[in-house]
Amino acid sequence: MCGRYAATANPDELTLEFEVDDDRTTDPTRSVLVNPQSPPPATPDHNMAPTKQAPVVLTRTPRGDDSADPTRQLRLLTWGLVPSWAKDPKSGVRMINARAESVLDKPAYAKAAARRRCIVPAQGWYEWQVSPTATDAKGKPLKQPFFTSRADGASCAFAGLYEFWRDPAVADNDDPAAWLTTFTIITTEAEPGLDRIHDRQPLVLEADEWSSWLDPGLTDLDRIAALLEPHAAGRFTAYPVSRAVSSNRSNGPQLLDPLPASELHGVVDPMTGEIIGSPA
């Protein structure tokens, strides 16, 4: 699964890189958080976690003008998909990821996969590797976080889905509080090397796939399924980072710093399979 990632770019940078027509990140939105988000939405976040609002790219027809052409927009959406038919938003906590192999069939995702696809920009993602040799004080295997990003330095374009949930308790349809817009990140089998960290990874799209993936007019399931296929291996680089990222209160660029080999215990090198560091 993908449960944390780094969203370090600001809206201006994302607008350029993802060829966005309309930056809507300043629009009023509904949040599920009890306390204010930290860092604030639409600012660099090096430890993006579920239930936070994150910048997402999608293509939609402007509201109230069905004759207008769809535009590519940058919006703030809440991570954790809430289906339109859900009784309350709590289900989103369990639906942060959707499996590429079944996303077109499962009722919770099928309609969104057919018509409401999005791109989740990220510098890269975190995943925790379970040590085959090292244990903690309770005798449980140590978990070492890794950060994975594109080897070419470009942003990762995670394939995602989004949904609208209408709160029946809010009478005014135009009230931003009436609507909760959420997303999920699609995952696929981890490629060779990365599978030594975890058996799943986000589905990262290439730039020449963005237009098709974002096209709400593309409803042919065979063509959508083709975009969900695993991509060629070798696009990413991964390295161990501080366990501080395990706390959702930790943030800042230091979370991306490589961890020195001297601080590794029973860590498997993703590229070679070599175990680095003593079990202690």
Active-site amino acid positions: 2, 127
- For 94, 148, 224, the CA distances from 33, given in Å and listed in that order, are 15, 27, 33
**Residue 150: exposure state from Cβ atoms within 10 A (0-12, 13-18, ≥19):** middle
* Cβ contact 72:29 at 8 Å: no
Using DSSP bridges, classify how beta strands 53-60 and 71-79 pair: parallel, antiparallel or unpaired: antiparallel
Measure the CA–CA gap between 241 and 148, rounded to whole angstroms: 10
Beta bridge partners, 124, equal: 6, 149
163 in Cβ contact with 132 (< 8 Å): no
Dist. CA 236–CA 249, nearest whole Å: 27
* Helix (H) / strand (E) containing 202: strand 200-202
